[in-house]
Amino acid sequence: MDFLRPETLAEALELKASRPDAVPIAGGTDVMVELNYDHRRPAALLDLTRIPELGEWSDGLRIGAGVPYVRIIDELGAQLPGLAMASRTVGSPQIRNRGTVGGNLGAASPAGDTHPVLLASDAVIEVASVRGTRMIPAAEFYVGVKRNALEPDELIVAVHLAPAKGPQQFSKVGTRNAMVIAVCSFAISLFPAEKRVGAAVGSAAPTPRRAHEAEQFLASELDFSSPKPLLDSVKREFGELVSLAASPIDDVRGSAAYRKHALAVMARRTLGWAWQELLDGEQQCA
């Protein structure tokens, strides 16, 4: 096995082009488990932790693929509340100190905690190779169970995610608060100015996925111009539509039936919280 240690992104892309079999490693929280358990023997590891620009972000926001969860929580929480909420549910403090959104995207597990937020918030994934840069909308990034849209010579460079334009919420079901792979998860983003809603499910289908019908239903039902308390019937219908968007399986973490039920509950509750935040904001303005 080779251990490749690029110091710049250009160098990393050259290495990935010449060694497409090299496995990128940043926080190591997924890759090292596979190595420790002998589940994977890559020909090379490509260490991305020495590339400064992967660990930075810029206004707008363009978040380097190597920014650890702890910094998203501590330093970007006000701008990206949904992503910060999801990041808080990742592993433990030690894991959040190392793990990155880039790694979440690279692993592309259907249960990855940040995926529903990235989908619901219209994130765009910036990937690069020596051939150039591609901007891939999150909705097109997840192509199968643990498979993403990357070509063998490409690396995930950054996530583009606009600061929240309205309330965002994230919810996850697991057996305890820490160290839990999601049984299922859900994210919602309100875009009041555009009078629309983003909603996405995690760990409830072969890939993380958006709940399009549920989004459209809310866009037609919610009165963003003069928000009033929501009818229970609207929340319930939203929950049902989110549940219908999922196609979960029975596995060790939960049954398909339970996941569908839990998604409806999470969708209903998070909508309630997000809408209440909007109402509270209106009152403050008045």
Partner 1 sequence: MRVNVTVNGEQRQADDVWEGESLLFMLRERLGLPGSKNACEQGECGSCTVYLDDVPVCACLVAAGQAQDRSVRTVEGLAQGDQLDPVQEAFVEAGAVQCGFCTPGLVVAAHDLLDRVPSPSDPEIREALAGNLCRCTGYEKILDAVRLAAARR
Residue type for 1, please?
M
Ranges of H-type helices in the chain = 9-18, 31-36, 69-76, 81-88, 93-98, 101-107, 115-120, 138-141, 212-221, 232-245, 256-285
Instruction: Choose, by CB under 8 A, the member of 97, 146, 277, 281 that binds partner 1.
Output: 97
The residue (of 2 and 140) whose beta carbon lies closer to partner 1 is 2
Q: Which stretch binds partner 1 (CB under 8 A): 176-184, 218-226, 231-239, 272-280?
A: 176-184
Q: Is residue 33 involved in binding partner 1 (CB under 8 A)?
A: yes
Residue type for 205, please?
A
Q: How far is the CB of 85 from partner 1 (least distance, A)?
A: 15
CA angle 31, 36, 40 (to 5 degrees): 60
Buried b (16+ CB within 10 A) or exposed e, 270-279: bbbebbebbe
End-to-end Cα separation, the chain, in angstroms: 64
Q: With contact defined as beta carbons under 8 Å apart, do 103 and 29 qualify? A: yes
Q: Which two tokens stand for residue 69?
A: 């969860």
* Partners of 44 in the β-ladder: 2, 22
Q: Which stretch binds partner 1 (CB under 8 A): 28-36, 109-117, 143-151, 241-249?
A: 28-36
Does residue 279 sit in helix, strand or coil? helix
Q: Is residue 2 involved in binding partner 1 (CB under 8 A)?
A: yes
The residue (of 40 and 131) whose beta carbon lies closer to partner 1 is 40
Enumerate residues 103-122 that contact partner 1 by CB under 8 A. none
Q: Is residue 8 involved in binding partner 1 (CB under 8 A)?
A: no
Q: Is residue 3 involved in binding partner 1 (CB under 8 A)?
A: yes
Distance CA 21, CA 1 (A): 11
Q: How far is the CB of 56 from partner 1 (least distance, A)?
A: 16
Q: Is residue 276 involved in binding partner 1 (CB under 8 A)?
A: no
The residue (of 54 and 120) whose beta carbon lies closer to partner 1 is 54
Q: Is residue 184 involved in binding partner 1 (CB under 8 A)?
A: no
Q: Which residues bind partner 1 (CB under 8 A)?
A: 1-3, 5, 25, 27-29, 31-33, 35-37, 41-42, 44-45, 47, 49, 91-95, 97-98, 177-179
